[in-house]
């Protein structure tokens, strides 16, 4: 049976990590647009998924705020 872990960044639910059977690898299921490009990717660990989701979410959030302040 597969297990999943909720992935939150700064209190925002961004997706779920699906732990692969008999492996350390995890697949990412994105639910937030700022991390959509990670959807379906398989990373070597739950820690790697959390780290990459946070990096991308925060980076895209900063970029989005920069564009809004320019307008």
Share of the chain above pLDDT 90, in %: 72
Which pLDDT belongs to residue 39? 98
Q: Are 57 and 35 in contact (CB under 8 A)?
A: yes
Q: What is the DSSP string of 3-31?
A: EEEEEEETTEEEEEEEEPTTSS-EEEEE-
Which pLDDT belongs to residue 66? 60
Report domain extents, the chain. Answer: 3-70
Which pTM does this prediction carry? 0.80
Give the residue from 12, 1, 7, 64 showing the smallest Cα distance to 39: 7
Which pLDDT belongs to residue 67? 55
């Amino acid at each position: 049976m597969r297990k999943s872990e909720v992935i939150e960044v700064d209190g925002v639910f961004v997706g779920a990590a699906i732990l692969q059977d008999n492996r350390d690898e995890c697949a990412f299921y994105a639910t937030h647009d700022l991390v959509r490009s990670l959807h379906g990717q398989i990373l070597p660990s739950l820690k790697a998924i959390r780290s990459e989701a946070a990096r991308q979410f925060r980076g895209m959030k900063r970029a989005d705020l920069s564009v809004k302040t320019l307008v």
